[in-house]
Structure 1
Amino acid sequence: MVMKAVCVLKGAGEASGTVFFEQENDSAPVTLTGEIKGLTPGEHGFHVHAFGDNTNGCISAGPHFNPHNKTHAADNVAKLKITDKMITLAGQYSIIGRTMVIHEKADDLGKGGNDESLKTGNAGGRLACGVIGIAQ
């Protein structure tokens, strides 16, 4: 059975967009497609964060969702199509109900030479976020 989810991203500034998630079955990779507008030029990190809580803006989404405790080893509009084998839409490590966050800087993939780089990729502030929810 195909599982689908959606995340509507909004922030205090201009950044906004929608990301769609689709997974063919429990063991298949998840495909993400979408478009994010209002970004400043350059690269931006985007991550799934631990909580689906946006009561205090994107900051209440908590740290990166990292169930396997791994360190980092991804013009004004960003279009994306990604296939990811690490996330899932079902089971113990599901991202449903968690928050996706768009960050102000590129993720340094843990190569920044400090502990924060290994945890967050030094991606900077949170520009926009949204809770990942089940879709039809």
Structure 2
Amino acid sequence: MTNQLNISEQVCFPVYLFAKEIINQYRPFLEELELTYPQYLVMLVLWEQETQTVNQLGEKLKLDSGTLTPLLKRMEHKAFITRIRSTVDQRIVNITLTKKGKLLKEKATCIPEKLMQAMNVTVEELAVLKNIITKILDK
């Protein structure tokens, strides 16, 4: 009988290692863009819809404002985004891509392909992995 508490029996450990590995695989590609992985995630959301509130970003990325605010300040300092308080409600901060932030999208289009090559996986394999992960997360 195997011991269920052996680390080799745990699903959480390879998932943990994979999360670390995938971020490490992104790192060299993102350094070229002057982005960290969390900043890249923000940019992905903003490239879909270029103006979002901090709360909307937080909901989509599952990040609280305490984590998001310093991240956004650094991105604003790099001139990728602007942060503007709403004139209607001072508690609302709108995040908008700058021209520099919009132009960065062109440089980033090759990242998914480079990542697949670096990890030696196919589109189909990643789709299966993503579907399994999404199924677990949606419970």
TM interval, shorter chain, is: under 0.3
Larger Rg over CA atoms:
2
Greater strand share, 1 or 2? 1
TM-score (norm 2): 0.27
Greater helix share, 1 or 2? 2
